[in-house]
Chain A
């Protein structure tokens, strides 16, 4: 329980290298049991041929690849990545004998003695609606971020085993993000505190809850109390206000903070322009053009799942109208990777882009009230605009053409990401003005009907910074500002001055080290609550499991503290408070003819209720005078951007192995931080991949390894936030990554006084050491078979025809006998146009199928266990490549190479087309993995253990396992099974009802979770099923399956998974960067945005 490590801000934050086992050198260690020792383990035996696709920068620029002759950062010998990892993971001889003897005893015992007795323990009182083995679903609201997505939680015997999006919920629409999927790992996390405690010097003494209420209740009596908490749109903040009022304070003593500054900047911009604090609700279904100014709405926006669902409807052929997304950005975000036209602009110059776009719109006499203001702003910033085109490297024609498209059809402009620079709020103001000019409000963006609510008040952080010293007691609830704010802001010193700091967290956090009282609170799956994400729309949260540890609901703790002081609120618990609040909801939805109890039951059953609020369209204020552009917009040279990591967030996801193991979408690096740099810049500066760089700014420095990232602006230096925790327990303990906030100075955004995390001038230098980043893309490399991805232009796809069925492949295999043929043939279709590489499928798959997380060293050895991985392929120019994300899972080949080579028939073909894997039959020869051309089979090198996290191997909490799927042990091959447990359940249900399985009855975990609806699953024998129709689509192809129309059949593996080629909707125009940078031959691909070509068709 003790937490000695204080947060040292003077020592440069440093990536902890893998250390060799003390006392051993590689040559001393004797014969290696689990892998070769002499020579690099992963020496590539193949030569990468240059095709039109590439997976990483070093394929195009071999000289940027990691230099193995450089000395390793930790040891005094030169090692390859594989051998280095083995240095830590290998089992030495003594360990081997120990393991061997244990195995010998165990196996001889198992062979001769009956297996151990198992107990059958029934309920004492069987709940009426529960039966062992029959799952119960509860509707609730996800608590991982402030978006308020509706979820349904599948529980079995009282334990949650899987989270799905609530299909009826308008925000999540049946999906969740990867973070939501991983919240089960937060619930069952072994590092959760077991009891409340008081600090006694360096140690924490634990107490019973009753004593805590007694002591703490007295300690805070008559004191000036403040509450500092994370953002929420629900009743929670009202409750805290009520508590503070009882304690003699007011709502101004409540402080809300979210590291995702988009909430406050977007809502502040609407306050500046329209006088109303809100986030606009997008409706992309009607939009035809979206322009992004550095936006990352698919990954870390204000409501990623809702935006992804929206975007999937906008950017698809289904509706017959394929929208166009134009992005201007300096980083390579996953949202930018989906752009039809992407223009790379310097860091922090998005505001200049906005001005240039504004100018073009003004010249085209756009409508709206904002045009006059925009004209004034354009005139006032004439100096920036004159040099603007050269600065951003995009020609005036592009802006004129973009403006034309924006005006011609329903459109919207989305701006800003979480790499927050000093002009970030002004950028939002500009976006609001542009949206008004193009008539987006009321057409594609709503602020007068069902607008989205901001979970935070935008001025809370600066208010707290000035007033903190005046408080006697501060409660920090579910928030960790010590980690998520730049150290230079002085927050730590400020907190140290507060006489009594109470930290209320569901997981240990850095703030605990400064707290005098540490109270473990319930995880959101154990709590009552609600969210009010859209005006007039409420989403309810109910507990789905009894508290796993001895924790309490944060709100209930306050009720107790008030009761001790005889100042009670008239509620027994927070549930009662909510029931009181929800009475307003009954009025809102105008529920008639039902009593309140029935109404609440119905709401909890459905998960949400409401009626969208409306208000008169707010009128625009005069803002042109206050519009100013900070000097960082026109700065030159290398600049730092530190955005939130899409999965780890501001660090609250760092303790979940699933999120660490998914890896970054663009770089596929897992379990680490890295510095992203344009490969050409890196080459010019003499850096190579994996070089440990010293990154220095005026505020501080850190050491972090380099990953050359295609698509970054040559001046952009990107380090994601989220890693680099300093707490003494948790996944983060292993020294995973660095926290780039040490590089961020004290500067605040001018409008909302939020610390800025982008735009700092930065200096890079080589330390001479290397550090191996665990990038997964190359672990399961498919060699030179780049025909795995097909691309079409919009024109091509409109006239695309296929004359021959995908399954029409010459075949010498014997046909199945008639009585062996099933009515089902399970198939999957993946639309690459929709996939945005978010990783939700990987998380859902891991939770559903009990897949372990292997950890960094295992990944360096290529031993990650993902059943579905996300490949991403680049094409074209390194400076501005086209990107394709491809989820790759077992293709369930009908002519499977793996089946033929298994010596024990552990893998066999199922009459329903599944490639069956019988774990208990497998003897671990791994022939099948060698035979598989898709590299989707995974071998259990370990029986993964729980409790040892960080840079070591991971294990699963037995309680967090899905009881419907066998847990595999060491020595067994495993792979995607198309979630056969779900297929069987659906078939059983169908049989009970005397029918066939209908389309939509069964969905694999990945298909169900996909926020972009990219994955479709179903019965191929049913010609009306969605998957059969998609397979028949002319755009569909089989991975490595050639082109049947040209009598090319590729590997003839005949997979049941088909892919739909990616469509690029672009009208090529010059970008002003022509001829610059290194161009990669793009034969077979389509011209990159950087390559000039005449416009093929008019806009």
Chain B
């Protein structure tokens, strides 16, 4: 228990004081559950609704309820109209404020959500979106190699193959596990490179 107390005394700096009591209890449970090779305690403490190990179904709340269904589905705006660097960069790009304002200067200006964007734009503030499809920092995923067509030596994939049917989603959620096995599976099927340096450097 000496070690546990040490653990707790140092834990204070990491966890807010209100959680101290809970921490004390859960750490105790955690330590014993780890020793007992049981996952139940972990699940009890860290379980959150909708959570899964591979993040499929991850559906965070965004600063405004932007609907891909309306934009990409109903209005049929192509994905790359807003995510414009998907074809030329590693990153597909999140549309900048002026991309939104291009239409919403005129369209639906009375909506409170649009007003929020307009206010941010006028104050020269960016929107802070929550990243839904988030790869670990040690993975180098090049959007352009997957989106570019065969004539450019790319895979010519549709966005939906990895991101799911975004045009049908009011709130975007993660559609695929994005884990290494999932990547490798596709790379094997399509005879894409499999050596480590393709993604890890």
Interface residues of A (CB under 8 A from B): 97-98, 101-102, 104-106, 108-109, 111-115, 117-126, 131-134, 908, 910-911, 914, 916, 918-921, 964-967, 977, 980-981, 984, 988, 991-992, 994
Beta-carbon contact of A123 and B97 below 8 Å: yes
Tell me if B67 is interfacial: C-beta within 8 Å of chain A.
Answer: no
Tell me if B171 is interfacial: C-beta within 8 Å of chain A.
Answer: no
Q: Bound state CA distance, A575 and B43, in angstroms?
A: 62
Beta-carbon contact of B201 and A981 below 8 Å: yes
Looking at the complex, which of B87-95, B105-113, B160-168 is the stretch in contact with chain A? B87-95
Q: Which residues of A contact B137 (CB under 8 A)?
A: 966-967
Q: Which residues of B contact A125 (CB under 8 A)?
A: 96-98
Q: Which of B89, B128, B148 has a CB less than 8 Å from the CB of A992?
A: B148
Q: Which residues of B contact A980 (CB under 8 A)?
A: 197, 201
Q: Bound state CA distance, A921 and B121, in angstroms?
A: 43
Shortest B105–chain A CB gap in Å is: 14
Known: A126-B96, A965-B201. 14 other contacts (CB 8 A): A98-B6, A101-B10, A104-B7, A106-B14, A114-B48, A114-B58, A121-B127, A910-B195, A964-B140, A966-B140, A966-B200, A984-B201, A991-B145, A991-B153
Q: Which of B3, B51, B89, B154 has a CB less than 8 Å from the CB of A134?
A: B89
Beta-carbon contact of A133 and B7 below 8 Å: no
Question: Which residues 42-68 of B have a CB within 8 angstroms of A?
Answer: 42-43, 45-46, 48, 51, 55, 58, 60
Give the 5 A-B residue pairs with the shortest CB-CB distance, closest first. A991-B153, A126-B96, A131-B85, A133-B89, A112-B46
- CB contact under 8 A between A117 and B85, given known A122-B126, A920-B136, A966-B137: no
Beta-carbon contact of A988 and B142 below 8 Å: yes
Q: Which of A105, A114, A126, A992 has a CB less than 8 Å from the CB of B51?
A: A114
Q: Which residues of A contact B91 (CB under 8 A)?
A: 131-133
Beta-carbon contact of A97 and B121 below 8 Å: no
Shortest B93–chain A CB gap in Å is: 5
Beta-carbon contact of B93 and A920 below 8 Å: no
- CB contact under 8 A between A126 and B30, given known A101-B7, A114-B51, A988-B145: no
Q: Bound state CA distance, A122 and B95, in angstroms?
A: 6
Q: Which residues of B contact A920 (CB under 8 A)?
A: 136, 138, 200
Q: Bound state CA distance, A131 and B34, in angstroms?
A: 46
Shortest A505–chain B CB gap in Å is: 31
Beta-carbon contact of A132 and B93 below 8 Å: yes
Q: Bound state CA distance, A919 and B140, in angstroms?
A: 12
Q: Which residues of A contact B195 (CB under 8 A)?
A: 908, 910-911, 916
Shortest B113–chain A CB gap in Å is: 17
Beta-carbon contact of B131 and A113 below 8 Å: no
Beta-carbon contact of B30 and A122 below 8 Å: no
Q: Bound state CA distance, A942 and B161, in angstroms?
A: 40
Beta-carbon contact of B85 and A132 below 8 Å: yes
Question: Which residues 70-122 of B have a CB within 8 angstroms of A?
Answer: 84-85, 88-91, 93-99, 120-121
Tell me if B196 is interfacial: C-beta within 8 Å of chain A.
Answer: yes
Shortest A110–chain B CB gap in Å is: 10
Q: Which residues of B contact A112 (CB under 8 A)?
A: 42-43, 45-46
Tell me if B158 is interfacial: C-beta within 8 Å of chain A.
Answer: no
Q: Bound state CA distance, A372 and B94, in angstroms?
A: 76
Q: Which residues of B contact A115 (CB under 8 A)?
A: 134, 136
Q: Bound state CA distance, A515 and B69, in angstroms?
A: 63
Q: Bound state CA distance, A134 and B34, in angstroms?
A: 45
- CB contact under 8 A between A994 and B151, given known A124-B98, A125-B96, A919-B138: yes
Shortest A928–chain B CB gap in Å is: 14
Q: Bound state CA distance, A98 and B10, in angstroms?
A: 6
Q: Which residues of B contact A104 (CB under 8 A)?
A: 7
Q: Which of A122, A908, A965 has a CB less than 8 Å from the CB of B93?
A: A122
Tell me if B125 is interfacial: C-beta within 8 Å of chain A.
Answer: yes
Smallest Cβ-Cβ distance to B135: which chain A residue = A118
Beta-carbon contact of B3 and A97 below 8 Å: yes
Tell me if B152 is interfacial: C-beta within 8 Å of chain A.
Answer: yes
Tell me if B37 is interfacial: C-beta within 8 Å of chain A.
Answer: no
Tell me if B129 is interfacial: C-beta within 8 Å of chain A.
Answer: yes
Q: Which residues of A contact B30 (CB under 8 A)?
A: 108
Beta-carbon contact of A994 and B131 below 8 Å: no
Q: Bound state CA distance, A123 and B120, in angstroms?
A: 12
Q: Which residues of A contact B97 (CB under 8 A)?
A: 122-125
Question: Mostly helix, strand, loop or mixed at chain B's interface?
Answer: loop
Tell me if B124 is interfacial: C-beta within 8 Å of chain A.
Answer: yes
Q: Which residues of A contact B90 (CB under 8 A)?
A: 133
Q: Bound state CA distance, A994 and B130, in angstroms?
A: 37
Tell me if B11 is interfacial: C-beta within 8 Å of chain A.
Answer: yes
Q: Which residues of B contact A97 (CB under 8 A)?
A: 3, 6, 10
Q: Bound state CA distance, A111 and B43, in angstroms?
A: 11
Shortest A500–chain B CB gap in Å is: 39
Q: Which residues of A contact B201 (CB under 8 A)?
A: 965-966, 977, 980-981, 984
Question: Which residues 1-39 of B have a CB within 8 angstroms of A?
Answer: 3, 6-7, 10-11, 14-15, 27, 30, 34
Q: Which of B84, B130, B152 has a CB less than 8 Å from the CB of A120?
A: B130
Beta-carbon contact of A992 and B152 below 8 Å: yes
Shortest A103–chain B CB gap in Å is: 10
Q: Which residues of B contact A119 (CB under 8 A)?
A: 128-131
Looking at B10, B27, B51, B145, the one whose CB has the most chain A CB atoms below 10 A away is B10
Beta-carbon contact of A120 and B131 below 8 Å: yes
Shortest A48–chain B CB gap in Å is: 37
Beta-carbon contact of A919 and B200 below 8 Å: yes
Q: Bound state CA distance, A980 and B195, in angstroms?
A: 12
**What are 20 A-B residue pairs whose CB atoms fall within 8 Å in the complex?**
A101-B6, A112-B46, A114-B55, A117-B130, A120-B94, A120-B128, A121-B128, A123-B97, A124-B125, A126-B98, A126-B99, A131-B84, A131-B85, A131-B93, A133-B93, A920-B136, A920-B200, A977-B201, A980-B201, A992-B152
Smallest Cβ-Cβ distance to A993: which chain B residue = B152
Smallest Cβ-Cβ distance to A972: which chain B residue = B138
Smallest Cβ-Cβ distance to A102: which chain B residue = B10
Beta-carbon contact of A105 and B85 below 8 Å: no
Q: Bound state CA distance, A994 and B90, in angstroms?
A: 19
Shortest A922–chain B CB gap in Å is: 10
Q: Which residues of A contact B6 (CB under 8 A)?
A: 97-98, 101
Q: Bound state CA distance, A132 and B14, in angstroms?
A: 33
Q: Bound state CA distance, A213 and B121, in angstroms?
A: 33
Looking at A101, A111, A117, the one whose CB has the most chain B CB atoms below 10 A away is A101
Q: Bound state CA distance, A980 and B95, in angstroms?
A: 30
Beta-carbon contact of A131 and B89 below 8 Å: yes
Beta-carbon contact of B144 and A132 below 8 Å: no
Q: Bound state CA distance, A919 and B136, in angstroms?
A: 12
Q: Bound state CA distance, A102 and B15, in angstroms?
A: 11
Q: Bound state CA distance, A114 and B95, in angstroms?
A: 26
Beta-carbon contact of B34 and A108 below 8 Å: yes
Q: Bound state CA distance, A613 and B51, in angstroms?
A: 72
Q: Bound state CA distance, A118 and B151, in angstroms?
A: 34
Q: Which residues of A contact B151 (CB under 8 A)?
A: 994
Shortest B64–chain A CB gap in Å is: 13
Q: Bound state CA distance, A125 and B97, in angstroms?
A: 6
Q: Bound state CA distance, A914 and B193, in angstroms?
A: 14
Q: Which of A122, A916, A921 has a CB less than 8 Å from the CB of B127?
A: A122
Q: Bound state CA distance, A124 and B120, in angstroms?
A: 9
- CB contact under 8 A between A118 and B200, given known A124-B125, A911-B195: no
Q: Which residues of B contact A992 (CB under 8 A)?
A: 144, 148, 152-154
Q: Which residues of A contact B27 (CB under 8 A)?
A: 105
Q: Which residues of B contact A101 (CB under 8 A)?
A: 6-7, 10-11
Q: Bound state CA distance, A126 and B100, in angstroms?
A: 11
Shortest B122–chain A CB gap in Å is: 10
Q: Which residues of B contact A991 (CB under 8 A)?
A: 145, 152-154
Q: Which residues of B contact A965 (CB under 8 A)?
A: 201
Beta-carbon contact of B134 and A118 below 8 Å: yes
Q: Which residues of B contact A921 (CB under 8 A)?
A: 196, 200
Shortest A860–chain B CB gap in Å is: 30
Q: Which residues of A contact B131 (CB under 8 A)?
A: 117-120
Beta-carbon contact of A918 and B46 below 8 Å: no
Q: Bound state CA distance, A101 and B5, in angstroms?
A: 10
Beta-carbon contact of A105 and B14 below 8 Å: yes
